[in-house]
């Protein structure tokens, strides 16, 4: 496993109705290498009624994230909703990765993309995982160059790229075998009008389809339950993906004994 992380607090963002309903949680991580603060299996929990950045942030706008990451301390990172330490999520991610790898007869590494990585260490944790025994590469990417520079400095052994997933894939873009999204697509579904959200998710799904192989696969880990997500994921012709999407529910135990949930949506072509 990679460097141990110290979980200092967990706060709930309540930024709009969708998030309020979904009990969106954020886990604030500090001092990633501080051995004095051992991570607990479940992070300490504090719940606040408002987000750190006001009432209605524009999560789908990269300039919002640039500002947010510029304002945040450079050694403080946030992990949205759930971490790889969640046993169920971990087993689902591992089995997805194993399944992608086993269906390919690659002599070279199987290529994964972790878009909208923010300052999540999910990609680092997967690469350092002792529960996986596969030959993979993983590119972490985000639309905010501020957070990418920060993560490069914190985890120089991993790959960090600046990339806008709402832009059409450019010629020569790396083609991946699979994509792992945690809470990036959620950012397009927080606030705004339905028509804009439909367009953004459509552009996003198309982009993901363009940057994956013909047998490409994708998981989207989301705080949104299927009733609030499927109409976005099953638009028109599927935007390059099969409309038959597998859904898994992930229970997230909180330290105070309550439980939260998120969902893992698995796309194939
Ligand atoms: C809710 S955060 C999730 C961060 C991280 N994946 C996690 O789970 O902790 C959404 C992330 O998506 C990024 N993002 C938003 N719009 C984007 C876009 N158009 N292209 C690439 N990244 C984008 C933001 O910069 C932010 O880091």
Whether the CB of 187 sits within 6 Å of ligand 1: yes
Q: What angle do CA 202, 251, 139 make, to 5 degrees?
A: 50
pLDDT at 106: 66
Residues 181-198 have pLDDT tens digits of 999 999 999 988 999 999
CA dihedral 152, 157, 158, 164 (to 10 degrees): 30
Contact 205, 232 (CB under 8 A): no
* Short-list 188, 209, 210, CA closest to 199: 188
Task: Please work out whether the CB of residue 85 comes within 6 Å of at least one atom of ligand 1.
Answer: no
Per-residue pLDDT tens for 129-167? 999 999 999 999 999 999 999 999 999 999 999 999 999
Q: Is the CB of 118 under 6 A from ligand 1?
A: yes
CA dihedral 214, 145, 66, 204 (to 10 degrees): -10
Residue 26's φ and ψ, nearest 5 degrees, are: -125, 140
- The DSSP-derived string for the chain is --S--EEEEEEE---SHHHHHHT-EEEEEE-TT-TTSPPPSS------SSBTTBS---TT-HHHHHHHHHHS-TTEEEEES--TTSHHHHHHHHHHHHHHHHT---SSPEEEEETT-TT--HHHHHHT-SS----EEEEEEES-HHHHHHHHHH-TTSEEEE--TTSPPPTTPPPEEEEEEESHHHHHTSSS-HHHHHHHHHHHHHHHHHTEEEEEEEEEEESS-HHHHHHHHT-TT-TTS-S--EEEEEEEE-TTS-EEEEEEEEE--
Please name every residue paired with 134 in a beta bridge, in sequence order, or none if there are none: none
Q: Which residue has the higher pLDDT, 182 or 71?
A: 182
Is there a contact between 209 and 235 (Cβ–Cβ < 8 Å)?
no
What proportion of the chain, given as a percentage, has pLDDT over 70? 78
Higher pLDDT, 19 or 226: 226
Confidence of residue 73 (pLDDT cuts 50, 70, 90): confident
pTM for this one? Answer: 0.84
The pLDDT score that the predictor gives to residue 143 is 98
pLDDT digits (tens, 9 = 90+) for 241-260: 999 999 999 999 998 999 99
* Structure token digits, residue 248: 């898994």
pLDDT at 3: 37
Decide whether any atom of ligand 1 lies within 6 Å of the 262 Cβ: no
CA of 107 from ligand 1 middle (Å) equals 32
Whole-angstrom distance, CA of residue 39 vs CA of residue 245: 34
Q: What domains can be seen in the chain, in order of their start residue?
A: 83-267 (3.40.50.150)
What is the reported pLDDT for 268?
A: 98
CA 182 to ligand 1 center in whole angstroms: 9
Q: Which atom of ligand 1 is nearest to the CA of 80?
A: 9
Distance CA 159, CA 152 (A): 8
Phi/psi for 111 (5° steps) reads -100, 125
CB 211 within 8 A of CB 246: no
- Which structure tokens are listed for 229? 């997500």
Residue in 7, 65, 264 to alter for ligand 1 test, most ligand atoms within 8 A of Cβ = 65
The least confident of 81-95, 99-113, 186-200, 248-262 is 99-113
Q: How far is the CA of 115 from the centre of ligand 1 (A)?
A: 7
């Amino acid at each position: 496993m990679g460097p141990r992380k110290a979980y200092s607090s967990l706060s709930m963002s309540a930024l709009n109705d969708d998030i309020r309903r979904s009990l969106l949680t954020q886990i604030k991580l500090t001092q990633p290498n501080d051995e004095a603060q051992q991570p607990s299996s479940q992070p300490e929990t504090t719940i606040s009624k408002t987000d750190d950045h006001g009432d209605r942030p524009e999560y789908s706008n990269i300039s919002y994230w640039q500002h947010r990451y510029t304002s945040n301390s450079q050694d403080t990172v946030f992990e949205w909703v759930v971490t790889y330490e969640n046993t169920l999520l971990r087993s689902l991610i591992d089995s997805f990765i194993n399944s992608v790898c086993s269906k390919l007869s690659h002599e070279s590494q199987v290529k994964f993309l972790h878009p909208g990585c923010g300052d999540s260490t999910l990609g680092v944790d997967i690469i350092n995982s002792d529960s996986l025994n596969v030959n993979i590469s993983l590119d972490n990417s985000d639309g905010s160059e501020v957070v990418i520079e920060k993560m490069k400095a914190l985890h120089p052994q991993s790959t960090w790229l600046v990339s806008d997933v709402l832009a059409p894939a450019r010629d020569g873009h790396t083609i991946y075998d699979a994509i792992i999204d945690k809470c990036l697509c959620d950012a397009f579904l927080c606030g705004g009008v339905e028509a804009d959200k439909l367009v953004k998710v459509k552009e996003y799904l198309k982009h993901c389809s363009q940057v994956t192989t013909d047998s490409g696969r994708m998981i989207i880990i989301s705080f949104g339950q299927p009733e609030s997500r499927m109409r976005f994921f099953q638009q028109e012709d599927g935007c390059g993906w099969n409309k038959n999407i597998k859904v898994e529910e992930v229970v997230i135990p909180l330290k105070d004994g309550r439980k939260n949930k998120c969902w893992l949506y698995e796309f194939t072509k």
